[in-house]
Each structure stands twice: as structure tokens, then as C-alpha cells.
Amino acid sequence: MAVQELEGIKVAILATDGFEQVELVEPRKALDNAGARTSVVSPKDDKIRGWKFTEWGDEIKVDIPLKEAHAEQFDALLLPGGVINPDKLRMIPEAVDFVRSFFQADKPVAAICHGPWTIVEAGQARGKRITSWPSLKTDLKNAGAEWVDEPVVIDRNLVSSRKPDDIPQFSKGMIDLFSKKSGKARQPAA
């Protein structure tokens, strides 16, 4: 039987309409398969709709409305990308505060593609080594981050990735970081 690396770890997935579908669904599946308990947190109360590269995608259920969510309820945070999703979230003060609270509590955060926009808005990019979709390079540099073009980058409690093609490496890096930083990972039996 495989060890559940993230058994007992609760992960918030902050998203709204326009999240890149594969960037939420696939990392969530990896987290769930590793034993984590994932919850979609959104400013919307019921469902949010994904974006499938060039058109609207599927709807997914919101588990916890943002107005009822607090970082203290979770061990880690996942920020999927898509252009629309993080652009909307960074304009919602409660979403920005939610992201900031994970950094202030020194909890691990994973961001892919355009997801780092909310990290910039939360004032948490300065001094960090981050990758993202290439169009965020200037935004991240202006926010004081060191932007790099690599499939996955881990800097302290932040793991970041560039695009959907990087999801396998991103998911592995995210699970590794979350298991090390949460302090709740189950140890394999000797």
C-alpha cells in the first residue's frame, strides 16, 4: 500500500470563474491521490466555471465560500492560473488578504501560470525566486521577485510553475513542499 504523503493535510484552492481548468483539476487530483483534503474556496458561493485553453470549460462546485474561509482552517494554498481567474481575484480585497495570510503564517503556497498575480497583489513576491507564465515576468520583477524561466521553482514556502505542460513537475514539487512544510505528513513505517 502506498504511503499517503499528505494524509491529514488540508489544502485550500482559491479560484473563481475563468480558472485554467487543467491547472486546477490535475494538481487537485495529485493532492487528493497523495491523501490531502482539498477544498475549492471562491468569492462565488455555488459553482465556478473553468477555461479550457480557448473556450469556457466545466463548472466545479465551490466547497467553501471565501467569506467563510480562513487560512487557519488550512495547511497549504494552491493558486491555479488562467488569465481571467487571478485577474479577478487580485481585485477582491478578501481574496488578496486570504493569500497574504498564508504567507504571514509561513504556510506553503503553490502557484501556476498567472496564479502569482495574487501573490504580487498581496505584497508577497519581494525577495522570492518565482516562475510563471512569461507575460508576468515584468510584474514579478517590478514587485521585487527574481523571475526565472524554469518548469518548477521552489523558494522557501513557495512553489511556482509556468504552464500546463509543467503540471507533472509542478504537482511533484507541490506535494514535496507541502509534505515537508506542513509538519503533518505521515511518516512511512520502518
Q: Which of 28, 88, 90, 114 is catalytic?
A: 114
DSSP state of 9: -
Backbone conformation region of residue 82, classed left if phi is above 0, alpha if psi is from -120 to 50, else beta = left
First and final CA of the chain: distance in angstroms?
A: 14
Q: Is 70 a catalytic residue?
A: no
Pairwise CA distance, residues 21 & 27, whole Å: 10
Task: For residue 41, give the amino acid letter.
Answer: V
Q: Are 100 and 123 in contact (CB under 8 A)?
A: yes
Q: Are 33 and 171 in contact (CB under 8 A)?
A: no
Neighbours of 90 (CB within 10 A): 18
Task: For residue 95, give the amino acid letter.
Answer: A
Positions marked active-site: 114
